[in-house]
Every structure is written in C-alpha cells, then in structure tokens.
A and B are shown apart, each in its own frame.
Chain A
C-alpha cells in the first residue's frame, strides 16, 4: 500500500503553513522547475475545483507549487512530516533534502543518497 497508515509515530514536525518563507520559496522553485504540481495534487486526491484554482493562479503568474502548499497544507493542516512522506512516495529526493531540517533526524535515513 502506498498510503500506509501504519507507523503512526507522534508527529512533532511543524505545519506546512508555518514553514519559514525562504525554505518554502526554495522548495517551490525546485518543484516548479520539475513541473510536478499536478502529479502531487492528483496523488493526494485534491478536489477538481482546487486543481482548477491552482491552474488559474498559475495562468496569473503565481507559483503552482506554492498554491498547492496553500491548499493541501493550509486547508487540511498537514505537517512537514506529511510533505516529506509525500515526496518519498513521489521519489522527489531532492525535495526531501530541502525540507529535511523540519522533520525528525531519525527520518533522514529515508532520503536516498545523492548521485555523484
């Protein structure tokens, strides 16, 4: 199963909406350069009207990844740990590295080693 509910250790990581702005900007630049916002939105099963809203904001020049974080993190109150888990499931390893300081150190071993 890709959406495991097992291993529900106490999640003490910060909420996505409380990520420091510079970290969030660096993350969004990276995700935008990969153009993966729609895959992220589909993986977490965002409602079609929210996907449309992100698309609309993107046409207006806003970062679609930032809008994705506003919806999934903002409305649903998900944490940096949940985001880290989402990146793992999508094999976005560099994105995992960009937010690793915001999840417990014991999870850092789940980031695959970077290629030389």
Chain B
C-alpha cells in the first residue's frame, strides 16, 4: 500500500469487516465511553468512496457531506438501541460497527483509514488514539488547538521559587 507502517496489524485500506473480532471488541469498548458510537454514527457520510478516502487527509469531510449528505438518521440510531435490547450479550457499539461494516456497495465498505478520520472529525480521541496506535502503528493524531480536545499545559510563566 505504501500507507501502512511496517509492523502494523492493519493498513488504512483494510476493510473494517476484515478486522479481527477481538480488535472490534476493543474498539467498541472505547466507543461505549460517553455514547461515542452515537457521535460517530451521526457523522458517517453517505455514498463514500472508502478506498479513495482512506489515506491520511484523503477524506474531505465537509465536501463529501455537502454533496452526498449523511448515511444514518436519528431513526437508524434509535434502531441500534432496539437491537441492543435484543442482544444483551453484545455491546451497543459492537452492534453499530457490525451494521456499518457490512453496509453499502463494495467501494463504500468502511476502512480503518476512513474510521480513523471520522473519529478525529467527531472529537473521539480515545478511540482515534487506539486505532492509530494499535491498528496502524502510527503516532496519535494531531489535536485541534481549541475546544474540548485541545491539549492543556501548565502556565510555567508565573514567578515561582525554584529550588
């Protein structure tokens, strides 16, 4: 591919349905935090060319959504809630990923690279850092400079007694 690291388990073009169940299980534990799966599901674009959008920065999110709209509605999201009640042994995020990973035409099937970019787009940094490091052996994605995901540093400028 040229876009995957040497010792990575997956590449950015690996389809999510090819990711091992145990890894999907770990991913879903991050997506269970603070209902992150809902935030992800609500942002998935419709009719995405997944393979072409997999490389770093290749998913032009605003452009795609403006042109094609969103894949899932609030009604789809509440359907996942209903499925979860019927399958109490599965986590709700796992059910959401199971639905998404097999959906659409062949070129729409979500890849690890698309997932990562959507996680960053949705400010889901626990899940994004996990996918970058554990799936792709890549550094953690860049954080925005502002908002709840921004890095906070100590103010070191104040006059302090240095020992």
Partners in one complex: yes
Out of B129, B146, B156, name the residue touching A77 (CB < 8 Å).
B129
Does chain B have a CB within 8 A of A88?
yes
The smallest beta-carbon distance between A109 and chain B, in angstroms, is 5
Contact A72 B126 (CB under 8 A): no
Chain A positions 77-114 with a Cβ under 8 Å from a chain B Cβ = 77-78, 81-82, 84-86, 88-89, 107, 109-110
Q: How far is the CA of A96 from the CA of B34 in the complex (A)?
A: 25
**What does DSSP make chain A's interface, helix, strand, loop or mixed?**
helix
Whether the pair B152, A7 counts as a contact (CB closer than 8 A) is no
* Chain A-chain B contacts (Cβ-Cβ < 8 Å), number: 76
Please tell me the size bucket of the interface on B: 20 to 34
Give 5 closest A-B pairs by Cβ, nearest first.
A74-B33, A77-B126, A77-B125, A85-B152, A75-B34
Which A residues lie within 8 Å of B34 (CB)?
A: 50, 53, 70-71, 74-75
Residues of A within 8 A of B (CB): 2-8, 17, 44-47, 50, 53, 70-72, 74-78, 81-82, 84-86, 88-89, 107, 109-110
Bound Cα distance from A109 to B160, whole angstroms: 7
- The yes or no answer to B108 lying at the interface (CB within 8 A) is no
CA separation between A115 and B14, bound complex, in Å?
58
